Amino acid sequence: MLASKESRSYYSSMYNDEIMMLYLILACYYSMKNSPMIATFWLSMGLGVKAGVLLLIPGFLGSIQYNHGTITLIKSIVFIIVYQIVIALPFVLGNSTVHDYIERSKLTGAGRNGIAGAAMFWDYLAAHQSLSILWTFIPEEYYFRKELFSDRVKIAMLFCNVWNFFIRQNSFPKCFKNLLETFDQKKVSQLGVKTQDDVRNTCQILFIGYICGIVFMPGANQ
């Protein structure tokens, strides 16, 4: 990136994407370093920059339940939500509300509701078809219809995340075991990312899950 003129020009046009990716990489790094709450902080930082970090959240929360148990998972979810509310305060103390901020951040999957006269398709697409990196082969009459394109790729995204986490990684038995042992302090104290196998599994859960989200992103902006 530093040596290539073309790369510098490309990255300079990406606005805040590089900052988001830095926070995302730090979240993955601390997940593999057995520091789930520090990882949660960096994930929250990334989510405050761009909503694209939402694609990592299924694998991220799944890895916390898998590696650290239910109590740490609950702490992580609470931290993410509270952090979003706190950084929204300068805006919600004005004319908007916390509900507006959460919706417009797409944390709940909601769209922009035609804000500033924007076209309706921006509520469920990440890019206009002419700027899509993956979906230009789809006829326009299908691409811009929510029920024919956006809803279907979201289902595919969810299916791939479920397949990767529960079937490919075979994470369900351990996650369910951790749930049953939530209040067994002795068992909980033995959890964590402690071996190379734990690091590898965590890495696979996070990155393959994130790639599943990217591939089926409705629009996938260039």
Q: What is the pLDDT of residues 78-137, one digit of tens each?
A: 999 888 888 777 766 777 776 666 666 555 555 566 555 667 777 778 778 888 878 888
Distances (CA, A) of 76 to 96, 132, 156, 162, 171: 26, 33, 26, 20, 19
Residue matched to tokens 């529960």? 166
H or E segment at 187?
Answer: helix 185-189
pLDDT higher than threshold 80 for residue 190: yes
Parse the chain into domains and list their residue ranges. Answer: 5-215
What is the DSSP-derived secondary structure letter of residue 221?
Answer: B
The answer to whether the pTM exceeds 0.75 is yes
In single-letter form, the type of residue at position 192 comes to G
Long-range pairs of 148-153 with CB within 8 A, sequence gap ≥ 24 = 149/218, 150/124, 150/125, 150/218, 151/124, 153/216, 153/217, 153/218
Which residues, including other chains, have CB under 8 Å from residue 111's CB and lie 6 or more apart? Answer: 103, 122, 123, 124
pLDDT higher than threshold 50 for residue 1: no
Burial class from Cβ neighbours inside 10 Å (0-12, 13-18, 19+) for residue 78 reads: exposed
Distances (CA, A) of 164 to 50, 53, 211: 24, 18, 11
Question: What are the backbone angles phi and psi of residue 221, rounded to the nearest 5°?
Answer: -60, 140
Residues 3-59: tens digit of each pLDDT: 565 566 666 666 677 788 889 999 999 999 999 999 999 999 998 888 788 888 989
Residues 132-185: tens digit of each pLDDT: 878 888 888 888 888 888 888 888 888 988 998 999 888 999 999 999 999 988
In single-letter form, the type of residue at position 165 comes to F
